[in-house]
Chains A and B, each alone.
Chain A
């Protein structure tokens, strides 16, 4: 399937109150393109303007400046009904459709394609059934929306956007409030939709983990602007570090996660029997404000030394004190009391 840009922005300026005295620019000079057949994740700290950007892309609010085109036509030139068949939304807005059956809610997505009274044809019904099957909610077809879990409800909203048959799908934090399983479910589903049906899928999320695993492309939004690129390119270029400009947080490219940076000056060298033991030993010590040194570090000689043979066999050596521990729990407790109190 040919990948092509469907939504393009050049020098886009977004914000509130256009043509008014208290015009407020949230972000400016944004250049990006949303491509079909790809899952794009929009990442950024709270309050940077993710929702403003999504609202602008969804034509809920006009841009303050620049150029925004959908299929090479200015977005502002589309009528509401034209847009309804081009660009589907899944929002975080509260819905009041608890008294609808699942298939009735999904069928609302057909409205741009049905007549004045919204009568469903056989083809419409087929599309509704197919979408429910695809998102895995068909067994709940006749359930009330009010009876669904948060994850199921999100799937229903995705089914709704599917039957809308839009080439572009924009989702505002579709995985917020979901547990791990539903989150992964929803994300893989969206990834598959992009890859198999060739849709351009854009979603905002706070979940860096899942975004890095499943997104074809990342949009990193910071107060300085937007950075876009294939996930791996961005990670390896160090762009992720700039995403959360906070002294207490840094991005660890190896684990692909944001970590609390170490504040304390205590240092330790770790010798571990396996990478797994080493990984979790680092986790425990970093949390307790130890900086983990490489074995060949010059400062290693004066630092503490932790030797781990197994999950219940670890030895700490520091300043002539030597002590064995049978669990991380015991080790951490002893470290909290302080090495100098050891006998």
Chain B
């Protein structure tokens, strides 16, 4: 079997895996619910109690769909950043884009005294939080892009990104300091990361933003491949680098902003999943890498969500306690085998 059909097969396998994990996410939660009840709740059939129906439809279903979309959103923004900066260690959390979005959210949330996140989310509240996160993410990305024209060295740019992250974090600390206790608390809870933050009524908005971002990314497949050769070659292949960068900025900003606003600053999925996809397929060709990254992002997010409810006696682990456990080993593996893997040479 040649590698093209092997890659196609992988995409099919990954799709099946995602479906399987999605079902598992519906069946398995912090409260144990029999399969028949889950099916009943979803098909509007017989359910043993209204509480069960509520848990399945109002909690598990939106949480599963959120993870299903949040994973690819983060993973794809990581992939776009890695290609745009030709840097294997680029990712929304490393480059401070997460922090930028967090700052935007913090401004809205702490400025609003914690009412925005904790209470019933109106559509306007949703828009305000998204807009805040989007502005914050775009601000950091814009700064990074400006810096990237001055700082040619990729490692230096990475460090500049980390510095930007520190500055935004310090601004967030300052906001926390002057905020109410309630606001600080809700901000802290949000910062732990959680796929359960999107209610059924907000879901269409969340899903819409994610899908728009992912579609933009898919439409950028051709210039992304050209960018593997560096900006001047890409330009010689007929692309306006400025325009491509703007679209990349928009897609990454949107994806990072919407996920950060609702699921908190989720670490490592954006950084690690593109590497997992590259290792799995053995290619940096975006024709296959991009869909594989999306599917793998879904799978990883769904696995993380399952792991969060692992302590089945009532407790739910914070998402950001789980993602590094999966993400960090991948990155360390990539660093150790960098010579052998060579996809950035």
Partner-B contacts on A (CB < 8 A):
58, 60, 80-81, 83-85, 87-89, 91, 93-101, 104-105, 108-109, 111-112, 114, 116-118, 142, 144-147, 164
Q: Select one of B86, B225, B235, B240 contacting A108, CB under 8 A.
A: B225
Contact across chains for B238 and A93 when beta carbons are under 8 A apart = no
Interface of B is mostly: loop
Task: Report B's interface with A, CB cutoff 8 A.
Answer: 3, 86, 219, 221-222, 225-226, 228-230, 232-233, 235-240, 278, 282-285, 287, 341-345
In the complex, what's the smallest C-beta–C-beta distance from A108 to chain B, in angstroms? 6
Whether B232 pairs with A118 at a CB distance below 8 angstroms is: no
Interchain CB contact under 8 A, B342 and A111: no
Asked whether B285 lies within 8 Å of A88 as measured between CB atoms, the reply is no
> Which residues of chain B come closer than 8 Å to A117, judged between CB atoms?
221-222
Other-chain residue from B222, B228, B238 in contact with A97 (beta carbon distance below 8 A) = B228
> Given A99-B282, A99-B284, A116-B222 in contact, is the A111-B344 Cβ separation under 8 Å?
no
CB <8 Å contact, B237 and A104: no
Q: Which residues of A contact B237 (CB under 8 A)?
A: 84, 108-109, 111-112, 164
Tell me whether B284 and A60 are in contact (CB under 8 A): no
Would you give 27 A-B contacts (Cβ < 8 Å), ordered by A? A80-B240, A81-B238, A85-B238, A87-B236, A89-B233, A91-B232, A91-B233, A95-B230, A96-B228, A96-B229, A96-B284, A97-B228, A98-B342, A98-B343, A98-B344, A98-B345, A99-B282, A99-B283, A99-B342, A100-B285, A104-B283, A108-B225, A108-B228, A114-B222, A116-B222, A118-B225, A147-B342
Nearest chain A CB to B335 CB, angstrom units: 16
Q: Are A83 and B238 in contact (CB under 8 A)?
A: yes
Tell me if B283 and A88 are in contact (CB < 8 A): no
Given contacts A58-B236, A83-B236, A85-B238, 13 further A-B contacts (CB under 8 A): A91-B233, A96-B229, A97-B229, A99-B283, A99-B284, A99-B341, A99-B342, A101-B283, A104-B285, A108-B237, A112-B238, A116-B222, A146-B343
Contacts of A142 in B (CB 8 A): 3
The 7 closest A-B pairs by CB, nearest first: A99-B343, A99-B284, A84-B238, A98-B345, A146-B342, A118-B222, A81-B238
Distance between A213 CB and nearest chain B CB, rounded to angstroms: 29
Cross-interface CB contact of A95 among B3, B219, B233, B341, cutoff 8 Å: B233
Min CB–CB distance A333 → chain B (angstroms):
46
Contact indicator B232/A96 (Cβ below 8 Å): no
Query: How many A-B contacts at CB < 8 Å in the complex?
Result: 96
- Shortest distance in angstroms between A164's beta carbon and chain B's nearest beta carbon? 8
Among the listed B225, B235, B284, B342, which residue makes an inter-chain contact with A80, where contact means beta carbons less than 8 Å apart? Answer: B235
Chain B nearest CB: distance from A110 CB in Å?
Answer: 9
Report chain A residues within 8 Å CB of B345. Answer: 96, 98, 145-146
A99:B230 contact, CB within 8 angstroms: no
CA–CA, A144 and B282, complex, Å: 9
The docked-state distance in angstroms from the alpha carbon of A88 to that of B235 is 11
CA gap between A95 and B83 in the complex, in Å? 11
Chain A neighbourhood of B230, CB < 8 A? 91, 93-96
Instruction: Note all chain B residues with C-beta closer than 8 A to A94.
Output: 230
Provide the bound-state CA to CA distance between A155 and B86, in Å.
23
User: Smallest CB–CB gap between A50 and chain B, Å?
Assistant: 16
Do the beta carbons of B228 and A93 come within 8 Å of each other? no
Contact between B232 and A97 (Cβ–Cβ < 8 Å)? no
Q: Give every chain A residue within 8 A of B239 (Cβ-Cβ).
A: 80
- Inter-chain contacts of B284 with A (CB < 8 A): 96-100
Distance of B135 from chain A, by nearest CB (Å): 30
Closest to A153 in B: B345
Docked-complex contact B232 and A89, CB < 8 angstroms: yes
A89 vs B229: C-alpha distance when bound (angstroms): 12
Distance in Å: Cβ of A92 to nearest Cβ of chain B: 10
Shortest CB-to-CB span from A272 to chain B, Å, is 51
Q: Is the CB of A111 within 8 A of B226?
A: yes
Residues of B within 8 A of A144 (CB): 342
With a CB–CB cut-off of 8 A, which chain B residues contact A116? Answer: 219, 222
Contact A96 B221 (CB under 8 A): no
Chain B residues, Cβ within 8 Å of A111:
222, 225-226, 237-238
CA separation between A100 and B281, bound complex, in Å? 11
A195 to B283, CA, bound (A): 37
With both chains docked as a complex, state the minimum distance between the C-beta of B221 and any C-beta of chain A, in angstroms: 6
Q: For the complex formed, measure the closest distance between the CB of B280 and the CB atoms of chain A, giving whole angstroms.
A: 12
Residues of chain A contacted by B285 (CB below 8 angstroms): 99-101, 104
From A97, A100, A111, residue with most partner B Cβ within 10 Å: A97
The docked-state distance in angstroms from the alpha carbon of A262 to that of B105 is: 74
A108 touches B229 (CB 8 A): yes
Which of the listed residues B226, B230, B238 has the most CB atoms from chain A within 10 Å of its own CB?
B238
Give the residue name and chain of the A residue nearest to B240 (CB).
A80
A133: min CB distance to chain B, Å? 20
Q: Most chain-B Cβ atoms within 10 A of its Cβ — which of A94, A98, A99, A112?
A: A99
Identify which of A60, A83, A91, A95 contacts B228 (C-beta below 8 A).
A95
Distance between Cα atoms of A112 and B226 in the complex (Å): 11
Q: Given the complex of chains A and B, what is the CA–CA distance between A62 and B22 in angstroms?
A: 54
Q: Which residue of A lies closest to B2 (CB)?
A: A142
How far apart are the CA atoms of A60 and B240 in the complex, in Å?
11
Cβ of A87: which chain B residues have Cβ within 8 Å of it? 236
Distance (whole angstroms) from the CB of A167 to the closest CB of chain B? 14
Q: Would you call A84 and B342 a contact (CB within 8 A)?
A: no
Residues of A within 8 A of B232 (CB): 60, 89, 91, 93
On chain B, the residues within 8 Å of A101 by CB distance are 3, 283, 285
